[in-house]
Amino acid sequence: MKLYHSPTSPYARKVRVVILEKALGGFIEEIAVDAYADPAVLTATNPLGKIPALVTDEGLALFDSPVICAYLDAHPKAEGPRLKPQSGPEQWSVARAEALGDGMMDLGLALQMERRKPEGETSPTSARRWRSQMTRALDTLPETLAILPQDVTIGHFAIACALGYLDLRHGDMNWRDGRGELAGWYESIAARPSLAATKPN
């Protein structure tokens, strides 16, 4: 299999965490690409030109991160317990947590792209709204984490990768301020080998 990714993408990091958690590293070639340059190898795999994108051994191209993670979680060669419960209330609490983490990544990326725009093309109104949405999401995380299964899931990893992206690109948001419980949880899970190995520099 081949995974097209960027080392700083939180979405790709989530996939790379799953690869490590499921002991699939020996079966996947990780290829770093610049998605903004629209490399042919990426656009031929994902017409949207986005990362991550995975090409299976059968030649099937998969995207985006929730689809890839679900595929890897169910892969015949994957080791360990499933990261996505397949039934019961836990199925939906985990799916909700993953969606929240992914949504926070969306907001973080939108804010980062806004910073890159030339003067005169930015939208301060949109940026303020995105920051407000991020703050609301951060405030709900302790409640979200409290209803997740005790064992780690894709929901935990999505939230951890979202917080890691805030550290990487939006340190000015100081998301730990007033959120000691969340900060403590993050420091604990960030030490997990799969997250430590994929931490962007």
Ramachandran angles phi, psi of 117, nearest 5°: -70, 150
Dump pLDDT digits (tens) for 149-184.
999 999 999 999 999 999 999 999 999 999 999 999
Give the start-to-end residue ranges of the domains of the chain: 2-73, 88-197
Domains 2-73 and 88-197 are alike in CATH topology: no
Q: Summarize pLDDT for 8-19 with one digit per residue, the tens.
A: 999 999 999 999
**DSSP state for residue 198 in the 8-state scheme:** T
β-partners of residue 3 are 30, 54
Output the CATH code of domain 2-73: 3.40.30.10
The encoded tokens of residue 157 equal 């990893």
Contacts of 119 (CB under 8 A, 6+ apart): none
The 53-55 sheet, strands edge to edge = 29-32, 2-5, 53-55, 61-62
User: CA-CA distance, 10 to 100, in Å (whole number)?
Assistant: 13
Rounded Cα distance, 127 and 26, in Å: 41
Provide CATH code, domain 88-197: 1.20.1050.10
Question: Among residues 154, 152, 156, 131, which one has the least CA distance to residue 142?
Answer: 156
Amino acid at 45: T
Residue 129's pLDDT is what? 98
Count Cβ atoms below 10 Å from residue 163 Cβ, excluding itself.
25
Summarize pLDDT for 54-67 with one digit per residue, the tens. 999 999 999 999 99
Are 100 and 137 spatial neighbours (Cβ–Cβ below 8 Å)? yes
